[in-house]
Structure 1
């Protein structure tokens, strides 16, 4: 399962079947997870805070990256990498914004449904409005993911042993979009523990910057024109 799949599974309430964080944060977190997967898999690399596609056959020094074998085809990752290849050298947080969107969430969710991990249920409100939810069908994958994160939060600050790179990236992205605060609300000093586990990570900060930029753009007031209360962005 990719980091983005794990993140989405954590973000959907297992019984209610709906995301427990806002759509804007979730969209950006998922695209950040796709970007993290590209780097961790060796398909792309970071250079001065910018993302670049890795040339075929080039050596990869990314910690935890796939080495010594051909990468499996993955339509989601391949499409993201193709977009990066067309505009190499763009900053990580910019790519988080560019790659985000409801379509990505839909594709990832459909993948989890296809694997039998999530169900798909529809309800009709007053017989007119259709509402869908996706409760957990197979609880084992989510339990395994939560157990990994739990273990990382519990042990890393104490024994100094960092978790595997995938777990660290998942945790830093989940923390950046406030999902970790919901999942691990009972963990004391959560911020400090996450910082200890993810020290030096780039994916979480990139997602956090993209979220901050999105929130700032939404909060900017639209000036009135010609004495009216309406107007358009400038």
Structure 2
């Protein structure tokens, strides 16, 4: 999701690695985060790991209970983030539709095509959900960028990782038929953007986001506040 910056400090690099593990659902909500284990796996001292965990706690990705655990999912947090996304992304899609260039469309079509290939032709997607999440992240972030609104993009930066943490969960354990819809939805968005119709672009993005929100809300009540069984490499039992 995020390209590694060679000028980051060691604690920033550790933070970035752990953030991606959390956002991509490889470190599950409620799972324990062992400072010593992380330091050993990454080949670093405990100091940068401690600094990274402090930042993650400040940004509400981990909690201390004592010891660190990945923050549990919150229905209120998801609702708040989803509402912000539904304000930002349709507006961004409408702006992008007006100004989009053919070269930008080609990039979006390429990302959407990769998504369709994975979702429709790859059969069992349990092992490919990270690829789906990463491509969705690229697609949505690029549309926000194409809106050519720096303040809007800056605001989106503040919520996108929390947003994709929840979307990762939906992609990890999707309802029946969900991936088939995802595989075609992004191509449909591209087709609408190609028409350069601002209103239609806003409407299709709003519908797209509403679909994901409805599916998540359908799953959430049964699994809220439970510890998930899936453990990533940094979340030992």
TM-score after normalising by structure 2? 0.24
TM-score after normalising by structure 1? 0.24
Which has more helix, going by share of residues?
2
Highest CA radius of gyration, 1 or 2?
A: 1
Point out which structure has higher relative CO (alpha carbons under 8 A, 6+ apart): 2
